[in-house]
Structure 1
Amino acid sequence: MGFIIQESVIERVGCVLLILLHHTCSGLEVTVPSSHVALFQTRTVLPCTFTVNNPPVNPIFLAIFWYFEGKQLLRYDNKDKDSSPGVSIDEQELKRGNASLSIHNVTITDQGTYKCLVIYSPERQHKEIQLNILAVPTVGMNKKVLLRDERNLVQCSVTDFFPRDITVRWLRNGQDLGSASEMFQMNADGTYNVNSSVTISPIEAKDNPVITCQVEHESLRDPLQDAFRVEYGAAPTVRVLSSMTPDGEEQIYVCEARGYSPEAVEINWLLDGKRSDPRRGSDNSLFDKEIYYRILLNKDKRPTQISCEVQHETLYSPITETQEVQVNSDCRRHCHFGLTAALLVLVLAAFGTLATLYYFITRKKLFQRFQVSHIHKMERWTEDKKVALYCVASNCTTDAVVTWTVMENGGEKLKISEAQAKKDAENTPFCSGYTMRTDRTQSPADKLYNIITALSFKPDISKELEVTCNFSCDGRNKERSLKCSWNLKKPEMSAPINLSLSDSRDVLCSVTLEKFSPRDIKIIWSSGVGHYQKLDTIDGKIIQNSDNTFNIKSECRVPGHLFKDPGFKVRVTWSHQSLDVSEFREVSVADFPWRPVMDEIIKPPLLLHSTEAKLQCTISGYFPGDLAVKWMRREAGKQELYEVSPSDKYKIPVMEITQQSDKTYTCTASLIVSVSALTEHGSEFICRVTHPTLVTPLEKRTGELSVTGIPVIRNRLQDGGYIILEVDSFYPQELGVTWERADSESGPYKRIPDSDIETNSTESSDGSYRVTSICEAMTRLNKMDPSDKYFKAILEHGALKSPEVLIFLRSRGNFSLISGQGKQPLHQVDRKIVIKSSSSHRRKSSERIEAEESHKSHI
């Protein structure tokens, strides 16, 4: 027995050793691609396969791990398995060496680096794979009908794509249309949207080309595109009209969309920003795309705002017109009283409830109350100058018959029926001048009819009308009456056309018209020189005053450069039922408040002869930027002005122009003058400015100029015992030269007598002056004294802040400058000067003058 046990143990150990020996030589090899691409919101499989030398794979030694960005996603071995939501592996495929990972719904956050780790004991090996996500874009253009002769903005929406890199191209008949603007937005799921827009000019839209929005993206094999052939349309004009009944219990709103093409249009009511029940309105073509809404003001749950939203192919975005729902004080009191009265009515009505209930049940009309609203008066401006009266019937069990009755000034009554309205629609003349329209809608739920009827006509201010609207429904008649007259009030313009500047250098023109009635008014802006062209008009909301008159503000935008022409004018014209002829106002650049303002001319404090002087004048506060500057000159002692032209003497730099924070311009005009005492002393310069806003030019003057020439020592010469000092380029002429002598440099100095000095003064060709001063430094007495002597020359002039002092040293018969303008020996003059006495003064001979002139170039 013991032998058998021992043999059994040996067999088991041997088997294990054989398995281990076999597995040790398994040769594990894991294979994955470097990257993998998956489509957004699809299922994908990340490939990972492995091989061993001695298949099949034994699950006892196998373990599989998947990681995403270092975080474990899945673990599998023969004992247990664990995985994150949305990922899995096929356990049956593991036996065939397939450890691929399935991701069931790929999201953008799944993009990244994955690691497949395979352990086949005792070996282990891992490989990494990059998962890239692609989301295919969708492309669509929201505006495919253009406005003629205008610059149209067309937008292409590219949505739900990934990655972000994308190319959007605009093509015109297959050729690049030009640059476009793009605005990216990231969605909550990590994908992107981009809105690309391009402006198509009237020239680019000519001949009805095909406009294409083409998208290239990594997820697409071929470019994706949306295209349309240019068609022209007209954008709708939208108005919301409202009328309250005299008792303040209800208000009816009518939304008009007119003058548009193509025909398709969508009109909706929004109550406090939310779309209303569509059965409460109608868009029947009989109403020329009018819809209505009736609000009972005595209800607790009533909106605070009502909006009409119109969508059309010509519009870049919907047009929305909004009005506040207002309840007057009478209505509030009536409503409160109504609540009190309602309680009393309930008590009194309790006794008749059974009888009333029986009456309605037998006739199958429980809670089906046939109601008729008051007549609402809508004053509106149309091409035919008509007004409209509206009346609404609700909860009709059958289709109703509608009749309008009109009595003018208490006279004969005139009845208008739908049959007559039909004849009018068939171009049969209806002599009364009244037009009737009726629209019916039926609720699919309760099969009840809602009816709105309108009576339109051209009002006569001399007549008072009594109008009655009658509804006949299921054998019952209900009618409402209204007395109405029209009081016309002309628009008032209390202020002139207002002007302001925009960042785009456009001029914003606006006008406010006040206290007019009825409500409808037509305002047109135009501009030009003689011939006017229509401008885009932006009309604000019409405001109703407490006296039932109306105000409106209208504006337009005009490119500022057009006002460079003084004859260019902007005109605003308004038409109103109260006016026999349209009125208008005009504005031109002459009315601009932005006129140039000139500062005083800035000039140097001292104008120096033979130097350059800069004159500057700053002009500010003007618009447009078309400013012209001229520099003028008046000669000394004369009145005539001459325009300064650029030359070697006068330089006119280019003006520095800047735009200020208030959108006006500022510039600095400059003139650089080469100053000469001959031409500038006593003269005057004028800066003259012309601008389209100015009737006469502006100008600033420098006043008479005063030129100063600083003395310049040109030569210091020695002629035997004489020191010759030459000074020139000074102005005015007054120059003082004094000579002194001393035995030492520190003095004391004694003045040399005038009899030993000779001074000659001459005027130069440039208007400055020149002086030659000759000092007899070595008289016969001096020559006998061989010791060193010092001589001082002192120059005084109005242009010098302090006297100029030069000190000469005589040593061994030669002179040298030891203090002053340049220390140097004095050059000898070849010819000796001849001294002639006359009245105790010495003058130079002509030989000495020639000697000086011949040596100037050497000094």
Structure 2
Amino acid sequence: MPILENTEANLQYKISQYFSPSDLSVTWHKKEKNGNMTHLPKYSSKYKPNTSISQVQPDNTYSCTTSLLITPTLPDDQGSEFICRVEHPSLGTPIERSTGPLQVCACPRNQDPIQWYLTDRREAVLFLHLYTFYPKYIAIKWTCSCERLLTSEDHWETNSNSTFNMTSNCRVPSEHMIHPNPTFKVIWKHDGTMTDPELREVSLIDTDFPWRPEVTELSNPVLLFGRLVTVECDISNFFPKNLTVMWFVKERGSQGYVPVDLMKPYKSVISQLQYSDSGYSCTASVEFNPSSFSSHHGVMFMCKVKHPSLEHPIERITKPLFITLAPVVTDSVKLNPCESEFVLCSVRLEKFFPKNINLTWTFGENKNILYTPKKTLLVDDKVESFGVISECKIPWNQLKFPVRVTWEHESMAEPQSEELLGPDFPWCPQIEALDTPYLILNTECKIQCRISGYFPKDLTVNWFKEEEESRQPVPVTNGIKIPQPQRQPDNTYSCTASLYFTPTQMDHRLVFICKVRHPSLKEPKEERIGPLKIVELLGVPHIDSLDTSMLNGKYKIECRISGYSPKGLKVTWMKKSKRKYECVTKDHKYNIPDIVHERQSDNTFSCTASLSYKPKNEGSEFICRVEHPSLDQPIEKHIRPLQLQQQLPDTSE
């Protein structure tokens, strides 16, 4: 007799055709599989016997109903018999009725949904779990929406209460998953506990399908003019691998999206599929080279992803993408002195887009700029880009290093900067000693140093002398002359520091030191002049003659000078034209050979100074000017060679 486990069952018998109901005795007994007999008391908690009150029948006999209410379990009741025993004075021996060995059955329970699983063989498997059923045999069948029977494997396990669990797994071929809205069914029926089969159904579009594509947002790259750019998204955790990705583009000024495959210069790409226990993954992208502001500035892209698990495609759209050009430093940070002891700091950036750019200047550790920089915007129509010159004026005494300019532009992920590390001031004074080959005994002499290229104009000059014996610098305080500095075209300053003194015999091989202090110098800078010789003045120069000649179409003027000592003679050629004096220098027009001093028998010197040129302007007057330590004033000789052209013999033949 089959009954369901843990389900109440009522075992019942009818007793009739007896008299004297008070003498009727009804008892229930349980006979175990091993033969042991157990009496079931009236008030048993698990087994509940009950006998109704006897009822008189039309023939004056009595009848009643006796029952046993049980909730069977497999371990306790499987194969047991339940016996009803009736005793009455009218019976010689008690009457017994037996249920026979009970067959306890358990209905399979399905408490988990059908589960999906991926294998390392890139196959999908469906799992169905059925629990605590008895007997073991159960019929199960898997099918797909194309009405094909799918193969499955069933695995059983025995529970401690003698029931069974079963797992049925079904491998789903990939070709069955790519049909429109594919569904998969499983049907099972258990003999003895189920009159009708049960069914479960799953589909790829179910909300709990585990391998629906996950699509990231599209990247929104900055478009750099003329450089390949990629818009992409990652697609992951999908199965099967049948994925369709479509790209669309909406160019500037367009009304709608157009497939990129119909447009140039766009190219769509899908990377190679990667497989893991969570499904396939890939990267979908579209590439192009921004080349036109009119089309690509503000371009938008849309990506649509289709998959058998999706009722509707997944869409991702970029923001408008704008072309940018990163600034290029064409002139690095420069410092230039300017008016009123200010320093002009400047930098030049070019070839950037769009035009909005922010530049800030900092000096040393000072992050707060008190002086507003000037920004000059430049426009390059040829390449549709912009440039900028940023300038900042700052008093020289507030200039600290490093000087740094920082700019921010939407083409850059982070600000960039350019800096000038130092020195503290780039305009250090340059000292040049003017030629002083010797000193003339008992004659006032002038020692000079030209100091140039410095800024600001705050300059301190000190003179020192070193005597031959001690070689210790001694400050010189008299005879010093330092004129006001002169502003040069580059806004730096220059001056000539002079020292006047009259040497004696004690000053032989004297060394003079010009020491300069300036804000640009950490240490004073000095120039040494000497040791200088003391010479005795022996002769005063005089100009013997001034001769002219013509050779090969060139005039030659020769000036004979003699009777001078020492030989520190300086000759300068001057030209006077239209009442204006002009110093003649050696160049492609005028040839002025170097002077050669010749010692004479009386220990004086003589030389010949010459000037050659091709005449072009009538009426020019040439002057030979001679300077010598023995002269208070230069001496001069004048000649008009062009007026003498007709009187001079031509020696060209």
TM superposition score normalised by structure 1: 0.28
Larger RCO: Structure 1 or Structure 2 (Cα < 8 Å, ≥ 6 residues apart)? 2
Greater share of helix residues, 1 or 2?
Answer: 1
Q: Which has the larger radius of gyration?
A: 2
TM-score normalised over the length of structure 2: 0.36
